[in-house]
């Protein structure tokens, strides 16, 4: 069975991130994805967002321990991404839901997730990608997934390739949506 995060990273690898690229982790959580992205762009920059102080603290500790200093840690909603990111990005990651090991009542919500994903797409450079991990096993996650499938299917097929990857005999299993901007 595929591991969701490995497949997400496969999408990122396939888009050819370079050492000096600018990328973003829109849901930093415990910082695993931020660390992964920092290692992918050692001469570049990773913008990382989270609304929870716990997530910011955990991520800062993780990056310090790993000796990584190329992240811009932002303690704010990803819905405000355009206030912080003023340059094109090669890749963006969203790992929706709640902080593992944290308060499960604090999780991503449709009203901020959609503007954040629209912002991420608007920041994408040609050949760039936004990868979204969706967790439909809880009510808001299910509704988030439905909203994203409906809205992202409206993107122009001449400018973007939008992929939906899921296990078809397990409706609650996490799934991936990847939005690639064509390189033309």
Ligand X SMILES: C[S@@+](CC[C@H](N)C(=O)[O-])C[C@H]1O[C@@H](n2cnc3c(N)ncnc32)[C@H](O)[C@@H]1O
Pick between residue 27 and residue 85 the one whose CB is nearest to ligand X.
Answer: 27
Kindly tell me which of 127 and 147 has the beta carbon lying closer to ligand X: 147
Please identify, using beta-carbon distances, which residue of 79 and 124 lies nearer to ligand X: 79
Site of interaction with ligand X (CB under 6 A) = 27-33, 49-52, 55, 77-79, 95, 97-99, 106-108, 112
Task: Select from 84, 93, 38 the least CA-distant residue to 62.
Answer: 38
Spatial CB neighbours of 35, under 8 Å, sequence gap ≥ 6? 62, 63, 66, 68
Rounded-to-integer distance, Cα 51 and Cα 65, Å: 22
Rounded CA-CA distance 129/23 in Å is 10
Q: Which residue is nearest to ligand X (CB)?
A: 29
What minimum distance in Å lies between the beta carbon of 114 and ligand X? 11
- How far apart are CB 128 and ligand X at their closest, in Å? 19
| CA–CA separation, 164 and 173 (whole Å) | 13
Residue closer to ligand X, measured from CB, 117 or 179: 117
Q: How far is the CB of 97 from ligand X (least distance, A)?
A: 4
Q: Which two tokens stand for residue 158?
A: 């001449």
Location of structure tokens 């990803």: 78
* Least Å from the CB of residue 125 to ligand X: 22
């Amino acid at each position: 069975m595929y591991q969701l995060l490995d497949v997400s990273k496969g999408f990122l690898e396939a888009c050819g991130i370079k050492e000096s690229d600018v990328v973003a982790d829109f849901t930093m959580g415990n910082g695993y994805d931020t660390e992964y992205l920092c290692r992918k762009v050692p001469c570049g920059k990773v913008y990382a967002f989270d609304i929870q102080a716990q997530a910011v603290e955990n991520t800062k500790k993780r990056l310090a321990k790993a000796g990584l200093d190329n992240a811009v840690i932002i303690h704010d909603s990803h819905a405000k991404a355009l206030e912080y990111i003023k340059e094109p990005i090669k890749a963006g990651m969203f790992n929706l839901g709640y902080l593992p090991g944290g308060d499960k009542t604090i999780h991503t919500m449709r009203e901020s997730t959609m503007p954040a994903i629209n912002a991420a797409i608007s920041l994408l450079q040609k050949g760039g990608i936004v990868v979204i991990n969706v967790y439909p096993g809880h009510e808001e996650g299910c509704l988030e997934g439905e909203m994203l499938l409906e809205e992202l299917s409206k993107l122009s097929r001449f400018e973007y390739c939008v992929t939906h990857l899921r296990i078809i005999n397990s409706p609650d299993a996490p799934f991936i949506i990847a939005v690639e901007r064509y390189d033309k």
